[in-house]
Structure 1
Amino acid sequence: MLKTLLAFLGINRSANTMSDRIRTVDAATVMGWLRDGSAVIVDVREPQEHRAGHIPGATLVPLSRFDPARVPDATGKHLVFHCQSGRRCGPASARMAESGYTGSIYRLSGGMAAWMAASGPVER
């Protein structure tokens, strides 16, 4: 029905839209990806938040000065952005997609709060 409505309105929706490439993911799934080495984690919180506790191996690229060029290469891996509650990783994910990154991008649902609630490992 949505396709029909979009066609009627003259809106072309490509198979690779931003919403198709940016997905949310739960903490348990990310933990599995970390265990098997298939995730690149990017923390978009501020440095003081990162120092207080972060997902092991996460690279800090604060949203306040986000630069897609500072995001580690995630070729062949899941690129996961996280923040404290799951809000700030949205703009970071969008900027990453807009930069020309062609892989799938994931946002940790509920952020660091959900990670800790799921007993995810925390590095200080």
Structure 2
Amino acid sequence: MLFDRKQSRHRELTVTQLAALLNSDQALVVDVREPDEFISGHIPGAINMPLSQFRASQLPDPGEKLLVLSCAAGRRSAMALDKCAAARAGIDTHLAGGFNAWRTSGLAVET
């Protein structure tokens, strides 16, 4: 049986892992959803950079923090990670399940 053994270059964090990193000030979240989605609720402290206008070169400098991309469910953040890889930006991490998983977990939401 033949199958594609290609490994994803995307690292995924769980909601619990991201919450722990944020609580210890070790992560910066960039939300790639559109502005109307972001305004309706987002992970506290997240920065909005919509995928429709996303440029890896415009990502903020996270300093010593881990830069983590997020979207609604994980698809758009994975697309943004592909753009980061193409630009050789060195960003490879996103939130598994996106903001939907965050909200479902009952963690704080900023509006």
- Give the TM-score taking structure 1 as reference length: 0.78
Larger radius of gyration: 1
Moved more, 89-98 or 38-47: 89-98
Gaps of 5+ in 1: 1-16
Aligned to 1:73: 61
Q: Structure 2 matches for 1:24-39, cutoff 5 A?
A: 24-39=12-27
Gaps of 5+ in 2: 1-6
Tell me if structure 2 keeps the 8 A contact 1:23–1:106. Answer: yes
Within the candidate set 78, 82, 90, 1:94 is matched to: 82
Moved more, 107-116 or 93-102: 93-102
Structure with the largest fraction of helix: 1
Q: Distance in 1 between matches of 2:26 and 2:12?
A: 16
Measured against aligned partners, the alpha-carbon deviations of 1:62-120 in whole angstroms (never above 9, x if no partner) come to 00111112211124221111100111101101111222223x52110111110011112
**Is the alpha carbon distance of 1:41 and 1:99 closer, same or farther for their aligned partners in structure 2, counting shifts above 3 Å?**
same
Q: How many residues align?
A: 106
**4+ runs of 1 displaced by more than 6 Å?**
none
User: Identity, % of aligned pairs?
Assistant: 36
Q: RMSD of the TM alignment (CA)?
A: 1.8
Aligned to 1:84: 72
Aligned to 1:107: 94
Within the candidate set 50, 60, 77, 2:48 is matched to: 60
Tell me if structure 2 keeps the 8 A contact 1:41–1:59. Answer: yes
Aligned to 2:110: 123
Tell me if structure 1 keeps the 8 A contact 2:57–2:89. Answer: no
Letter of the structure 2 residue corresponding to residue 41 of structure 1: V
